[in-house]
Structure 1
Amino acid sequence: MLKNRNRKPSKKAQSQQAIARATALVDKQLAELKAHLLGKAEMQAFLDAANVAVDVYEDEVEGLVERATLPEFVVFTTVIEEDYPERFLEDIHPVIERLNDEGNASYLVIVFAEPSTLTLALTSRLFGQYPRLKGRVEIAHHLENLENELSEAFSKAVADWTEAPTLLDDARDGLKGIADLYSDSKPSRLCGKKIGKIFGYRGKEMATILSQSLDRPVSAAAFSATPDNDRLQDCLRNFELIARLRTVMSEAEFNAWLGADNWSLEDASPRQCILEGDVDAVAGLAARILEGNPS
């Protein structure tokens, strides 16, 4: 005889459901916004440039904080243990510190699958300590609220990117720096082959670089077969960020910059660092240059 047919899903199962739903909603929001903004070049450019990270905080906070640059959108989906809400706040604190860094313009969306009153109170108190984050953090108290909060965050980000005079103003001219990096068959994904062509690396070299950056083997054959593989996207996004320099440099200037020794990289050249697998460091430098603070 079957027992516990109506048993409540485990917290792990709830969390997995939350991630799946958040991921689907993020994709849905982006698709709807792109359809709505079709033909509005500046807003379309923002959406094409945006990186979205959908993470479970228990597994991904450390890796997220260690990234050279945070994605434009960070979406956390989590199930809080009511007896230990402090754990969530302790774990997410490094991300909040990164978001609060001068010049960072990421948006944070947190969705609680089953929050307690204490959790919500402590979370509100925590974000109250960071006035610079006002307007850049959306909290969905339940999964049912996630779509509204994502829509709010996306709308604010699009408005900020298109209205504020930023260092990426020059990039709005068709996003010439990154438009040619995306896959033809899967337009939402970056293509490693196209990126390799822009940076002057052959397929085998790109496979080696990706292997070093991802700390796991990527064969030349596998890279050649699926250069837009989903597992490569996090590393390829760093190449995308570096390529944005092409919006403020000519092709000749960009190639010269790649090959020149740079004191910010301990007198190594960006190209050398990339070949050694340290794409993060070069992406961080590119981000600072675009922000007007190369040091």
Structure 2
Amino acid sequence: MVDVKTTLGFMETAALEYPSTMVTTPTGEATVPAPLRRYRPRLARASEIKGLRHLPELTVVWTKELDALLSHRTFLRMLAERLTATPAPSKIVFLFQTKRRKADQRETAQKLVELFGYFNRPFDLEVAQGIHAGEDAFNEAVAKIVATRQLSSEKSERADHLSELKKVIAATDDLRAKSGKLSADSVASVFGLSVAELAALVGRTRQTASKTPDADSLQPLLQPFERVARVRAVLSPNDFRKWLYLANDELDGRTPLEVIRQGKVALVADLVEDMLTGSPS
């Protein structure tokens, strides 16, 4: 069981908001259990459940006991339908006002199976008997929701990174030979240079660059050009050519192509990296 104080302390430190919360009951007017009032949950009658498009992130079902809840089949079916329609993270805490006295464990387990059988997401359900256990269950559900949020955010970030990688690969695809390696011929063409000029910039002869344009020895020398060409992930080929001839304040008013022809392609590559990451040096 998650420690309540630890959970609350973590959430306050991290400035995280509590999940949107609703308290409902299968009969009569819903009331908020005293320990949960500080979370300011919304109250909802059983008749309102069917009209909801989605459940909030956390729903507390406040009822007398398990047997009483199981007698309200229509309510449970509506609740299950709403949970199915609600994207994760969303959880339900079934909070029973009193503990069952000397309940047979097998009988209780069977009734819980009956309760959970209404739902297609049983791992999103919590059960607590007695208000003190209910507060712990509530906070454990909150912790799970927060953790799920964080995991979803991390997955989204990884997906974004993968998407960016695919864009970079696509933007520099025409710099490569069929072997997958950078080609001096292709790099020269993209930058509007002759092979002889490119060869001189990387310290090789035209004959060497022309004989095997995708030679292993050329790869580290051509990589700075590939880094510059990554800007085409956000620029069209035509805009890239215009950019090469556009004076840039970050390059002391020189154009990127001028700086490249001065043998300082790495400087332009660093500029492009700053542009793409949004963190200028």
Band the TM-score falls in, shorter-chain normalisation: 0.3 to 0.5
Ranked by relative contact order (alpha carbons within 8 Å, sequence separation 6 or more), the top structure is: 1
TM-score (norm 1): 0.40
Q: TM-score, normalised by structure 2?
A: 0.42
Question: Rg: which structure is higher?
Answer: 2
